[in-house]
């Protein structure tokens, strides 16, 4: 006997679709996988609830002294009391609007760069790199046109972290491009050798020795009587160090440009500067934007090293606060706060770099 | 009017100031002179400044007594030792933390990198969270956290945490039983050396056999068994010449035993966790770079999954992984100089820190310190380049 009519369609087995199917495929696909899942769940159970308990549920959020934190959880009152110092350090409170204004201006200027349809990106970028630093420098330092003078030893906190990384970035990129061009030179072996030595030297030593050298040895190198500001010395060290890394990133981009582009530029009769500025570099720099952003992330994290030569960046300000005798046992809170701030900046930048990589990648993949 | 033929004439030469070759030479001469003048200027300034400040120069200070103590030293060291000795102590401490860090970070990084690609959703997400959290927090912050918030927050010696009977963890560090070698232990070392030699010979023989016949021999497993088994046999046969010196809890500190100072522990943990996050990303990229067709081709040839991974995927992934892995190792070694922030006596802290402060000879001390890091970087680069060439794709 044969069945003549079609069997009505059955729903898929419940173990294959929906929540159950997802669980079966992604967490319990084999005995080994199931064991791994259980171990992972146990690890999460051991770590996450106590952490949430400490950081959120049992934490003290308000207060003005250490004694106000009694509950045994995190003492976020500490961060509240010291917040102003973490951001500005000893920058006079009455003058802090200048810092806010400078960074606010930067945000306003940068936003149009992310708008696809904005047409004068090149001019705006040039303005940000050339004119804006002068404005910001005047706002920070003052001393003319009615603004009181604030010496650099009072700068600190997150403000200093941002200043060092921004200056390092803006100054290191052109120097890095020059070094990369020198290293790629085929007709000038002496220049190439000098560039190779310079790049490999800075890349071979730790940043901390560079900072140390700039703070201890730079005064020895200069003529007697000439003395630089401590911050400026650190900036010089950071810039030279970062330029070497930037040079390698740019060189990678230039190697990624097809030989035909160089030959086409030559056959059009372009001189070397024009060939580089109009044909090679625009393509090479576009290729390595993600690499540049990654270098910048590394630089941003490395700025914390200036605390070793006695500058008080965000980490330095926090390190000073957790050693305050009136606030015992807030070490963990201080470091967690610093970590969170650094993490937000770095994570946002790395996400942006990944997005760029995907968008720029489409045109160049073979 | 007959024009002259264009061919057969020497090519026209540009004016000398337009000739690229002459320009290149002139530019290079100018740059060289500029750099040389700049260097001479710096040297003259430095000499003048050193004289004005009354700072001695030369390397004579290396044989003068140092007069300060160092918390951890792998070689004999006392306050009466010379500055040259402090240099050696610092260098060995740097090499110790770098070596341990590289091994542990590689293991952890590979595990996390593979876990990041796991088909188990939870494991993959945990690995991703680990990577994103730890590589986006400055290393110095992590070092300070582990030192001040974890290791210095451990209980005092009196209430030290105990693992079993003879492992103690307190703010003074980790105390482990110390193995004391007795006479006759050299037999075990001899057996170990013999086992390693046999293992190398075995691997060569297995490779040759596979080239000739196509048959595989489990050389790795057998040599592993040799390396573990032979010394164990020799150890038992020579009458177990090994004693354990246990740490004893005193009033303020431990006596005896093998001590891991908290500075070393904090630095090592931070370096390993930070670098492993980067290594994991490298490993993931390397594995993803092997085209899926390779796996399918291996299956089509009838290779088992384990063999596919070992013989097809890993060798090809390693080619992509090695160059960035090298730069991670170099970063780890250079980052170990952050030890100075928590007082671990590495090369930078001991030599460019204390020694520089006491002698004031900044130029010599910084030159020696930087030269060491440069030399280590160059050596590892050379080794890895050699290895890379060996592993590189041989195109036929």
Which own/partner contact pairs does A353-362 have at CB distance under 8 Å and 24+ positions apart? A353/A289, A353/A290, A353/A293, A353/A294, A353/A297, A354/A290, A356/A289, A356/A290, A356/A293, A357/A290, A360/A286, A360/A287, A360/A289, A360/A290
Inter-chain CB proximity B144 and A347 less than 8 Å: no
Q: How far is CA A154 from CA A89, A151, B379, in A?
A: 7, 6, 43
In angstroms, the CA A161 to CA A313 distance is 5
Sorted by sequence, the CB contacts under 8 Å of residue B376 that are 6+ apart come out as B333
Residue B350: which H helix or E strand, with range? none
The answer to whether B365 and B359 have CB atoms below 8 angstroms apart is yes
Q: Please report the pLDDT score of residue B326 as a whole number.
A: 86
Sorted by sequence, the CB contacts under 8 Å of residue B5 that are 6+ apart come out as none
Inter-chain CB proximity A350 and B42 less than 8 Å: no
The alpha carbon of residue B258 is apart from the nearest alpha carbon of chain A, in Å, by 29
Q: Cβ of A281: how many Cβ atoms within 10 Å?
A: 18
* Residue scoring higher pLDDT (A354 or B163): A354
In angstroms, the CA A290 to CA A281 distance is 15
Inter-chain CB proximity B148 and A322 less than 8 Å: yes
Q: What is the CATH number of the domain that holds A175?
A: 1.10.3720.10
Residue A366 pLDDT level (bands cut at 50, 70, 90): very low
Q: What residue of B is the nearest CA neighbor of A271?
A: B20
A245 domain-assigned: yes
Residue B350: list chain A partners with CB under 8 A: none
Averaged pLDDT for residues A72-86: 80
pLDDT at residue A364 greater than cutoff 60: no
Residue A344 pLDDT level (bands cut at 50, 70, 90): very high
Contact map slice: A 152-211 vs B, CB within 8 A = 187-191, 194, 201, 203-209
CA atoms A224, A225, A229, A235: torsion sign: negative
pLDDT at residue A365 greater than cutoff 60: no
Residue A16 pLDDT level (bands cut at 50, 70, 90): confident
A114 domain-assigned: no
Q: Which of A27, A186, A212, A319 to mutate to test the interface with B (most CBs of B within 10 A)?
A: A212
Domains of chain B by start residue, with CATH: 83-158+262-391 (1.10.3720.10)
Inter-chain CB proximity B45 and A213 less than 8 Å: no
Q: How far is CA A269 from CA A183, A341, B369, in A?
A: 23, 52, 49
Q: Is B66 on the interface with A (CB under 8 A)?
A: no
What letter does residue B18 receive in the DSSP assignment? G
Structural domains in chain A (count): 1
Nearest 10 degrees: Cα torsion A127, A128, A131, A137: 170
A115 domain-assigned: no
pLDDT digits (tens, 9 = 90+) for A147-205: 778 777 888 888 899 999 989 988 998 999 999 999 888 888 888 899 988 988 898 89
Say if the ipTM goes beyond 0.90. no
pLDDT digits (tens, 9 = 90+) for A200-230: 889 889 999 998 888 888 888 887 777 778 8
Instruction: List per-residue pLDDT tens for chain B, 396 residues long.
Output: 455 666 667 777 777 777 778 888 888 899 899 999 999 988 888 888 888 877 777 777 788 887 787 877 778 888 778 888 888 888 999 999 999 999 999 999 999 998 998 888 898 999 999 999 999 999 999 999 999 888 888 887 777 777 777 778 887 888 888 777 777 778 888 888 999 999 999 989 988 988 888 888 888 888 889 888 888 888 888 877 777 777 777 666 677 677 788 899 999 999 999 999 999 999 998 888 888 889 899 999 998 888 888 888 888 888 888 888 888 998 999 999 999 888 888 888 888 888 888 888 888 888 899 999 999 888 888 887 787 777 766 655
Averaged pLDDT for residues A69-96: 80
Tell me which residue range forms the domain holding A221.
Answer: 77-91+150-364
A258 domain-assigned: yes
Q: Please report the pLDDT score of residue A363 as a whole number.
A: 47
pLDDT digits (tens, 9 = 90+) for A129-143: 888 888 888 888 877
A287 domain-assigned: yes
A63 domain-assigned: no
Mean pLDDT of chain A: 84
**Tokens 């489409």 belong to which residue?**
A362
Inter-chain CB proximity B138 and A301 less than 8 Å: yes
- Percent of chain A clearing pLDDT 70 (strictly above): 98
Q: Please report the pLDDT score of residue A362 as a whole number.
A: 47
What letter does residue B175 receive in the DSSP assignment? E
* Residue scoring higher pLDDT (A60 or B103): B103
Give me B233's structure tokens.
């046999």
Q: What residue of B is the nearest CA neighbor of A30?
A: B120
């Amino acid at each position: 006997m044969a069945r003549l009519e079609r069997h009505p369609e059955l729903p898929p087995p419940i173990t294959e679709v929906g929540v159950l199917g997802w669980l079966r495929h992604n967490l319990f696909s084999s005995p080994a996988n199931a064991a791994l899942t259980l171990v992972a769940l146990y690890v999460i159970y051991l770590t996450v609830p106590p952490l949430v308990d400490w950081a959120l549920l049992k934490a003290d959020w308000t207060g003005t002294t250490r004694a106000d934190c009694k509950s045994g959880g995190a003492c976020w009152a500490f961060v509240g009391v010291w917040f102003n110092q973490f951001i500005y350090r000893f920058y006079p409170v009455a003058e802090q609007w200048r810092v806010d204004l400078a960074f606010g201006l930067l945000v306003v200027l940068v936003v149009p760069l992310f708008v696809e349809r904005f047409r004068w990106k090149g001019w705006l970028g040039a303005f940000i790199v050339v004119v804006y630093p002068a404005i910001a420098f005047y706002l920070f330092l003052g001393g003319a046109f009615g603004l009181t003078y604030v010496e650099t030893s009072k700068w600190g906190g997150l403000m200093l972290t941002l200043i060092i990384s921004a200056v390092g970035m803006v100054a290191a990129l052109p120097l890095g491009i020059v070094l990369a061009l020198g290293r790629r030179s085929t007709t000038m072996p002496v220049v190439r050798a000098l560039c190779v030595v310079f790049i490999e030297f800075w890349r071979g030593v730790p940043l901390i020795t560079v900072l140390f050298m700039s703070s201890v040895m730079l005064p020895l190198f200069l003529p007697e009587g000439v003395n630089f500001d401590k911050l400026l010395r650190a900036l010089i060290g950071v810039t030279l160090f970062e330029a070497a890394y930037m040079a390698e990133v740019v060189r990678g981009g230039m190697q990624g440009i097809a030989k035909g582009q160089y030959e086409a530029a030559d056959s059009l009769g372009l001189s070397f500067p024009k060939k580089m500025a109009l044909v090679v570099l625009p393509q090479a720099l576009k290729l390595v934007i993600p690499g540049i952003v990654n270098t910048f992330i590394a630089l941003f994290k490395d700025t914390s090293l200036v605390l070793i030569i006695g500058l008080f960046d965000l980490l330095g300000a926090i390190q000073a606060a957790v050693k305050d005798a009136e606030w015992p046992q807030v070490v963990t809170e201080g470091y967690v706060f610093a970590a969170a701030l650094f993490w937000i900046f770095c994570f946002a930048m790395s996400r942006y770099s990944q997005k760029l990589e995907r968008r720029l990648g489409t045109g160049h993949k073979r | 009017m007959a024009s002259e033929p264009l061919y057969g004439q020497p090519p026209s030469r540009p004016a000398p100031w337009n000739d690229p070759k002459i320009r290149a030479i002139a530019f290079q001469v100018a740059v060289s002179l500029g750099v040389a003048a700049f260097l001479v200027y710096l040297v003259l300034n430095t000499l003048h400044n050193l004289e004005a400040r009354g700072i001695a120069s030369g390397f004579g200070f290396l044989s003068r007594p140092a007069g300060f103590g160092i918390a951890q030293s792998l070689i004999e060291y006392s306050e009466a030792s010379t500055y040259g000795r402090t240099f050696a102590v610092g260098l060995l401490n740097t090499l110790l933390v770098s070596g341990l860090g590289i091994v542990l970070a590689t293991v952890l990084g590979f595990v996390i990198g593979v876990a990041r690609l796991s088909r188990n959703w939870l494991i993959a997400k945990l690995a991703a969270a680990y990577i994103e959290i730890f590589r986006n927090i400055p290393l110095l912050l992590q070092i300070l956290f582990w030192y001040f918030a974890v290791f210095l927050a451990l209980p005092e010696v009196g209430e030290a945490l105990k693992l079993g009977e003879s492992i103690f963890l307190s703010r003074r560090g980790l105390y482990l039983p110390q193995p004391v070698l007795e006479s006759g232990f050299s037999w075990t070392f001899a057996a170990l050396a013999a086992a390693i030699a046999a293992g190398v010979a075995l691997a060569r023989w297995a490779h040759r056999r596979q080239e000739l016949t196509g048959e595989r021999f489990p050389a790795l497993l057998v040599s592993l068994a040799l390396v573990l088994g032979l010394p164990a046999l020799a150890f038992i046969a020579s009458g177990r010449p090994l004693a354990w010196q246990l740490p004893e809890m005193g009033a303020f500190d431990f006596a005896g035993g093998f001590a891991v100072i908290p500075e070393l522990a904090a630095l090592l943990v931070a370096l390993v966790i930070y670098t492993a996050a980067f290594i994991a990303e490298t490993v993931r990229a390397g594995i993803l770079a092997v085209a899926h067709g390779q796996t399918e081709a291996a299956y089509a040839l009838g290779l088992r999954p384990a063999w596919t991974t070992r013989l097809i995927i890993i060798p090809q992934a390693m080619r992509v992984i090695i160059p960035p892995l090298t730069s991670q190792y170099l970063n780890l070694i250079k980052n170990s100089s952050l030890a100075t922030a928590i007082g671990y006596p590495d090369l930078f802290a001991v030599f460019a820190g204390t020694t520089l402060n006491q002698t004031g000879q900044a130029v010599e001390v910084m030159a020696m310190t930087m030269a060491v890091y440069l030399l280590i970087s160059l050596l590892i680069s050379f080794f890895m380049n050699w290895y890379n060439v060996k592993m590189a794709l041989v195109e036929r």
